Structure 1
């Protein structure tokens, strides 16, 4: 009689009810973060009750979905628009909540079968698929563009046409990338959490993978925490509280992880033109607002303010801290060079993720009768993209050095598997 009870217990602990709670809680947190962030940014004043749909579109982009912009101005004018940016604050909030919900029924166990983990993940994936379809069909809206006063305004009034721009989610791409995002979140949760069970065949890999993965995620979260403290201090001392809270709730990891790569010596290329602008700090906008493509790196930052060299110090301190903790949490038989290689691989992958998700691109153009830019300052362009392989290579070097030094500092500390000599 006891065997059926034991076999039924796991299903009761992570059945459909718990899957629904996990998905709905993650979705609710993402909606709240996006809504408050957009409200602080002034999006609540958008016409035609567009605010809820803008929130939905923000959630679509936060999970890797695709939102396409379109323009229309009748026969008089043509508009062109496009934007690519991931609000990583919303992404991070959803990932943390869904990852914690996925791991909660699995805690206090050493081993779980691959079928059990796959079944539990499949329940969440089915419900998440329904959420993605709903978000994709709900993320669509059209806005009229205010062209101000002057000749263009007179012509649009005379011909009874006005430039419009709208957005529509690409349903297939949103579903595809949204499911891939969920798979990445669940896999990373299993890799990072020390208490999460693994299939018996994979237990031999957890000593090499889990400490390095945990250390890298801790480094990323620590940088977000440092960015949060910095943003709050800035809001308290320099004002602009609404803009600061909009940045915190929408794009804090975007800037925090950008700073992490800059402190490692990476270079990002970008340009700002027209009405677009980058959020705080203002130095980013000042460096990139040039006629040609500009390089954003430590050299250009310190040319404006020498205090930006502190990014290197912060990188070094936080990396050594997580590397030391990684070595302490690892078995004593792991050698110094192994710690270095493990952290180098993990940090290189983390920097690759930052480079792929931290890209920013936006453009808007308005032309009259097909001739030039007649928007009177409405047209503009903004982009920021990394020198990818340079950044990944620097991440690997920092991980190699940091992992070795951190493990060296951890040698005097008694660790798991250590045996005292008589």
Structure 2
């Protein structure tokens, strides 16, 4: 009798109403963030009522979905376009809201069966996929592209070569990657939260995994918080508030997490040409703009602005603080060398994630009579940014070992205050 009553309460806690609320809250939060960011970027003025559809496509890309670009310019011309970028501000907001909804009914419990967790996650996933499907079907539009000059636009209409660009979501890939994204959010939420229950077989891993996972989330969120402060100061001192709002609400983590890896000594490669550009800070655009592939690291950035070296100091402080938090949440018996190993592994995985989601690729061009070299006309452009992965991971391991060992020493007097899995926090 008691078992049936307990089962009924579990179903009530993990029912469909709560699942619908959790999934819709995440999607709505992402939609509002994307809409405000795109408004700041001027997307509200797009022709043919494209703004809501661009918002839908932005949410799709934020969860790893795929958006295909296409275009043409009549019978004698073609447009080519491609875009690969994840608006990580939208991604972060969705992850935080969805994770909070997922964890809420699981609070104040030490253990939960794998079947219970899987059933609760599956309910949310069903609603999530239905909402994502609606966004994917809505995220498609085709509209004319201005040639940048009234005379050119008139000639384009006369000769039937007015460029038209369009975008459409790839529905199957969007649902697949969206489901993987949601599963990743659930797993990370269980790893980070001390108050979330785990299946009995996984309890032995929580003392080593949860403090490190929590420390990395704190590190990433601290970078974003610092970025918000810098953005607000920039908006107040230099103006351009709508553009700054667009950066904050669409791509602030893209920039601050890139800066985190550069402060560790990582090197990125990229190029900016044509009408494309990086919104903030300007020093990135100055280093990358040109016809050749440029190297983006501390040395090349310092040639444009010597203040870039402060990234090393900021990284050292943030990593030391994160390592202290990790060690303070670990059992008191944890030696400093073990904290160093845990921190190194966690930081390597974090930098790997940044390198995978921080890549940028965009291009646009017009081919007329089979001639595609129209770069000098201003009708084409290219932008890409990619990391040198293995060197970035190696440097992350070294920084993690040093910061983890220091954090373990500093936290000796406080370690074990809040034991992992005690149900607090």
Q: Shared fold (TM-score greater than 0.5)?
A: yes
TM-aligned CA deviation for residue 150 of structure 1? 7.9
Aligned to 1:183: 183
CA–CA distance in 2 between the matches of 1:216 and 1:201? 24
Instruction: Please give the per-residue CA displacement for 1:175-233, whole angstroms capped at 9, x wherever unaligned.
Output: 11000000000000000111110011100000010000000111000000001101101
Instruction: State the secondary structure of the residue aligned to 1:361.
Output: strand
Displacement of 1:157 in angstroms is: 2.8
Is the partner of 1:290 in helix, strand or coil?
Answer: coil
Cα deviation, residue 151, structure 1? 7.6
The aligned runs of 1:307-326 (5 Å cut-off) are 307-326=307-326
Match of 1:392 in 2: 393
Q: Which moved more, 1:52-61 or 1:138-147?
A: 138-147
Q: Deviations over 1:132-174 (max 9, x none)?
A: 2112111110121111348854542332341111001111110
Q: Which residue of 1 aligns with 2:76?
A: 76
Residues 72-111 of structure 1: matches in 2 within 5 Å?
A: 72-111=72-111
Please give the secondary structure, in 1, of the residue aligned with 2:370: coil
Aligned partners of 1:187, 1:417: CA distance in 2, in Å?
Answer: 22
Equivalent residue of 1:346, what SS? helix
**Match of 1:34?**
34
SS at match of 2:92: helix
In the TM superposition, 1:12-23 aligns within 5 A as 12-23=12-23
Does 126-135 or 178-187 show the bigger shift?
Answer: 126-135
Match status 1:334 vs 2:341: no
Given that 1:332 and 1:417 are in contact with CA atoms closer than 8 Å, whether structure 2 keeps it comes out as no
Task: Tell me the TM-score normalised to structure 1 length.
Answer: 0.96
CA distance in 1, matches of 2:418, 2:51: 57
Tell me the CA shift for residue 416 of structure 1. Answer: 4.7
Q: Pick closer, same or farther for the CA change 1:414–1:367 going to 2, 3 Å.
A: closer
CA distance in 1, matches of 2:203, 2:141: 49
Name stretches of at least 5 consecutive residues in structure 1 with no aligned partner. Answer: none
The offset of 1:413, in angstroms, is 3.0
Matches within 5 A, 1:151-230: 152-153=152-153, 155-230=155-230
Distance in 2 of aligned mates of 1:147 and 1:185: 42
Determine the C-alpha separation between the residues in 1 that align with 2:2 and 2:361: 60
1:279-330 C-alpha deviation (Å, 9 max, x unpaired):
1110000010122100111001111111111111111111111111111111
Structure 1 residues 210-289: aligned runs within 5 Å: 210-289=210-289
Q: Which residue of 2 aligns with 1:136?
A: 136
Q: Aligned pair in 2 of structure 1 residues 263, 163: CA closer, same or farther (>3 Å)? A: same
Q: Is the 8 A contact 1:56 1:135 kept in 2?
A: yes
- Cα distance in 1 for partners of 2:320, 2:387 equals 25
Deviates more, 1:68-77 or 1:142-151: 142-151
**Mean Cα deviation higher: 232-241 or 409-418:** 409-418
Unpaired runs of at least 5, structure 2: 420-425
In structure 1, the partner of 2:411 is 410
Q: What's the counterpart of residue 60 of structure 1?
A: 60
What TM-score do the two structures reach when normalised by structure 2? 0.96
Change (3 A) 1:48 1:417: closer
The 2-side partners of 1:44 and 1:151 are apart by 25
Per-residue CA distance 1:63-100 (angstroms, 9 max, x = gap): 00000100111212111000110000000000000001
Q: Indicate the residue corresponding to 1:302 in structure 2.
A: 302
Deviation at 1:373, TM superposition (A): 3.4
CA offset digits 1:15-70 (Å, max 9, x no partner): 11100010111111101000000001100000010000000000010000000100
Give CA deviations for 1:304-358 in whole Å, capped at 9, x if unaligned.
1111111111111111111111111110122211111111111111111101101
Q: Distance in 2 between matches of 1:148 and 1:129?
A: 40
> Are the equivalent residues in 2 in contact too, given 1:152–1:374 (CA < 8 A)?
no
Distance of 1:256 and 1:417 partners within structure 2? 30
Q: How many angstroms apart in 1 are the aligned matches of 2:294 and 2:374?
A: 26
**Does the 8 A contact of 1:333 with 1:417 survive in 2?**
no
